[in-house]
Structures are given as C-alpha cells and as structure tokens.
Amino acid sequence: MNTAEYTKDLSIVVALYNEAESLPELVAWIEKVMTREGYDYEIIMVDDGSRDGSWEKVNELAKSNGRIKGISFRRNYGKSAALYCGFEAACGRIVVTMDADLQDSPEEIPEMVRMIDEEGFDLVSGWKQHRQDNKLTKNLPSKLYNATARMITGIRLHDMNCGLKAYRNEVVKNIEVYGEMHRYIPYLAKNAGFDRIGEKPVHHQKRKYGKSKFGISRFANGFLDLLSLWFLSTFGKKPMHFFGLSGTLMFLTGGVIAVWLIVAKLISQSQGLRFRPVTEQPLFYLALVVLIIGVQLFLAGFIGELISRNSSERNQYNIKDRIE
C-alpha cells in the first residue's frame, strides 16, 4: 500500500463483545490521548454479535464523535473475525488494536507509535508485565503458553496474546487472521516477511465492568492452534517433505524388521536349529503395521503435493518493493 493512500495517522481497531458499559469511558480515554498528541485518527469498533446493547451504544457514540466507525456481526464469530474486518477497513498509516474492557491503556499508544516510526519496527506488541488477573487461572497458564510459543515460533515475546499491539498498515494488509489465530498475529507477520517485531511493557488494569469472555480452555485450544500454524507455515506448500519423508522412513523400518525376521528364520532352519515361525512373532505384525502406515503417509504427502501444485495461491508472494 502506498503512503499516499493513507488517510489517517492512526486506525484504532477495537474488537468488542458485550462491553456496553465500558465503551463511553474507552472512547473518552482514547479521544483524550489522541487530542493531546495531535493525531489524525479513526476508531473502528467491531461488535462481535453482542447481546447487551453494545451496538446501540456504538451508534450513540458515533453520532457525537465523527471519528468512530462501526461494524456489527449478526452473531458471535470470535475475535479473529472481528480483527480481520477491522484490518480490512483500516486506512491509518499505523494500526493499533486494543480490547474494549478498559484493561488496555490508550496512554501506551504514543510510545508504541514512536517505536515503529523511529526504531523501525513493523509490529510492537504489548507486554502485560504485571497482570491484574487471577494468578491461578490466568497468570500461570499464560506463562506456560508464552514459553511454548517462544520455543516454537522463535519470536522472543513475553506476551504474544496481548490485545494491545501496533502495526504498520502494510502488515495487517498482508496477513489473514482466521479461526482463533489472533493469538499468533506476530507469528503470522513473521511468516509474511515482517520480522522486525518489538515489545513494550504496558500498564494492565483490573476489569472494571462485566466479566472475562475467555475460559481456561483457550490455553489448550491455543496450543493446538499454534501447532497447526507451525505445521502449515513449515510444510503448507511442500507437504511431501513431511509426509513423504516420514512415510518413507516408516516403510523402510517396517521392511527391514520383516526381512530380518524372515532371514533369521531361514538361517536357523538351514542350520537345523530350533526356530519360531515368522507368523507367530508379534514383531512381524508390528512391522506390517509400520509398513502400511508408511505407505499411507507417503500417499498423503503425494496427494497433498498434487493439491498444493493446483492451488490458486501457489505463487502468491509478498513483494516489498519493485523497480520498473
């Protein structure tokens, strides 16, 4: 996207679900910070199928503040869907995401913008260094989850799932957030070629209204999503490298075991030694199972390769610049 196409300094994307009580304070807080800093900005509120009057509150706020834009889903699709639509609508040079529950502070935004402008980051992620959540149900699982994410993605962030983040506009226009992948936007950005990722400790506040929409199950789901994303980013366009290699190794292992059992039996039989029939040995049937699984994995890789080669996205690349 060309700089000339940016119509605002900042686009602030707020994904919300049943947060009617907090919206007036949030908008007033954002407006105070933006006015003080002199930013030309827009607030894009994406209502993810709320049932508490949140959309009516967004409409009310938009009438008194022309900078507010709104998107309303007919039902609850999840935060990833809300961010996807918010990113699509954003026209600011820098895009900021934050939650609507007043736990993220707009006061952190100017420094995050400075880090992008002056330090050259593509993305700056917040780090809730001192969380104001329940230590047993939020803090400890979050630390374990983030340690696992760092190990798998190679991105040294303490809090990958922090809702407060700032991006260059071209980052959000070149990634696709779907399912529950909002947790791994830094990883999506890295895979798209935006690897200058920074982190800023941010102030985290206790929830003032309502209750959290996320349960303990999100950590198990998050781990499975992370494995899926790692696998797709590593082998998505070359499935034969994984399935073909693992299938070949299993086929060879099963074949070697089967041949060894048969040869050992023939040698014992030719020397007149006592021997056990091959078909009476459990190891022989284990070898057959490994052989069959190896063939199945190899065929899965072959079919995956055929699908990949016929995909309409097989030659889509993110081009940074061009001289013609």
Residue 253 confidence (pLDDT) above 90? yes
Mean pLDDT, rounded, for 70-81: 92
Residue 15 CA to residue 27 CA, distance in Å, equals 13
Tens of pLDDT, residues 216-228: 566 666 677 777 7
Strand partners, 12: 43, 96
* Largest interatomic CA distance in the chain: 99
Mean pLDDT, rounded, for 200-212: 80
Residue 137 confidence (pLDDT) above 70? no
Q: Helix or strand or coil: residue 236?
A: coil
**Tokens representing 323?**
């001289």
- The predicted pLDDT at position 37 comes to 95
Closest CA to 105 of 16, 26, 210: 26
Higher pLDDT, 103 or 179: 103
| Reported confidence tier of residue 81, pLDDT bands at 50, 70, 90 | very high
Total number of residues shown for the chain: 324
Question: What is the assigned CATH class of domain 3-235?
Answer: alpha beta
CB 141 within 8 A of CB 219: yes
- The predicted pLDDT at position 242 comes to 84
Q: Helix or strand or coil: residue 46?
A: strand
| Reported confidence tier of residue 2, pLDDT bands at 50, 70, 90 | very low
Residues 6+ apart with CB under 8 A from 29: 102, 105, 106
- Name the CA dihedral angle for 23, 26, 31, 37, rounded to a multiple of 10 degrees: -160
Residue 4 confidence (pLDDT) above 50? no
Residues 6+ apart with CB under 8 A from 305: 238, 239, 240, 244
Higher pLDDT, 128 or 210: 128
Higher pLDDT, 318 or 276: 276
**Model-level pTM?**
0.73
Mean pLDDT, rounded, for 294-302: 90
Mean pLDDT, rounded, for 111-136: 85
3-state helix, strand, coil in the chain (%, to 5): 55, 15, 35
Residues 6+ apart with CB under 8 A from 287: 253, 254, 255, 257, 258, 261
Mean pLDDT, rounded, for 291-307: 88
DSSP state letters, 132-156 = -S-IIIIIHHHHHHHHHHHHHH---
CB 121 within 8 A of CB 196: yes
Mean pLDDT, rounded, for 42-67: 94
Residue 312 confidence (pLDDT) above 90? no
Q: Mean pLDDT highest for which of 88-102, 119-133, 238-252, 275-289?
A: 88-102
Residue 272 confidence (pLDDT) above 50? yes
